[in-house]
Amino acid sequence: MKTKTSIAASVGAIALAACGGASDDAASVEAAETPPIETAAELHPLLAEVATGTYSLEKTHAFMTVKVGHNGGVSQYRISFPDIDADLSFDPAAPENSEITFTINPAVVETNYPGDYKAGHADSQWESWNEDVSRDSKWLNSDAFPEITFVSTSATKTGDLSGTLTGDLTLLGVTNPVTLDVTYNGVANPPWFEGRDVIGFDASTKVMRSAFGMGAYIPNIGDEVTVEFSGEFLQDE
């Protein structure tokens, strides 16, 4: 949690100035001469009390899903990545200076396939549809490429609480620049984290999977993949 010293000091000075009257000229003068506190006073209230520094993904409150059109786009097929991690270096006064590294384990995917996959896919070499999506060479090919990574390279602020984050996405051994739309949702201080800040974000982007060499079943299964994230980051100890 950021110390509130500068804000408390300025509030105190204003209070003194307001009620000091003629009997307390020194305090009034001092208040008048106090230089305006820097950017902290101009920050959005949801950013004003947030610690600068490094944060790690709070994995029990973090969701990453991809959606891709099926049957030419009549519906959106949804796949979750339950095993993800991220390190964030966050600067609330200049969020565009923040940096993030994301790692996604493609060996763990969740399609929520209902029923008995083998019963309907006797010829498949895989035991489940999750395993097929994860390991098959036409999909995530996770034996050959055991990690998906995103490493930010730049960011821009587009609103008080929104921005874009550009970085290098490496999927199937191919690295391409990707830009995420990001919304900052605020800070929480649950007592069990004893003063450490927890900050939350939503992010989304669209990527063309063909740009990473995954061309199977286009266009029956869409080339465009929508990626969505919502989750929390815990200030490092």
Binding to another protein (CB under 8 A): which residues in 210-229? 222, 224, 226, 228
Bridge-based pairing state of the strands 221-235 and 53-70 = antiparallel
Distance CA 159, CA 29 (A): 37
* Residue 56 within binding range of another protein, rule CB under 8 A: no
Shortest Cβ 230–another protein spacing (Å): 4
Decide if 89 contacts 110 (C-beta within 8 A): no
- Degrees (nearest 5) of the Cα angle 66, 142, 175? 70
* Residue 190 within binding range of another protein, rule CB under 8 A: yes
- Residue 10 or 189 with smaller CB distance to another protein: 189
Candidate residues 34, 56, 65, 128; the one interacting with another protein per rule CB under 8 A: 65
DSSP letters spanning 86-127: EEEEE-TT-GGG-EEEEEE-TT--B----S-HHHH-TT-SSS
Instruction: Using DSSP, state whether 145 is helix, strand or coil.
Output: coil
The one-character DSSP state at 110 is B
CA 147 to chain centre: 18
* Interface pattern 148-187 for another protein (x via CB under 8 A): -------------x---------------------x-xxx
Shortest Cβ 127–another protein spacing (Å): 16
Window of 14-22, 135-143, 169-177, 198-206 that interacts with another protein by CB under 8 A: 198-206
- Residue 175 or 179 with smaller CB distance to another protein: 179
The one-character DSSP state at 131 is H
Residues that bind another protein (CB under 8 A): 59-63, 65, 67, 69-78, 80, 82-83, 110, 112-115, 161, 183, 185-188, 190, 198-202, 204, 222, 224, 226, 228, 230-232
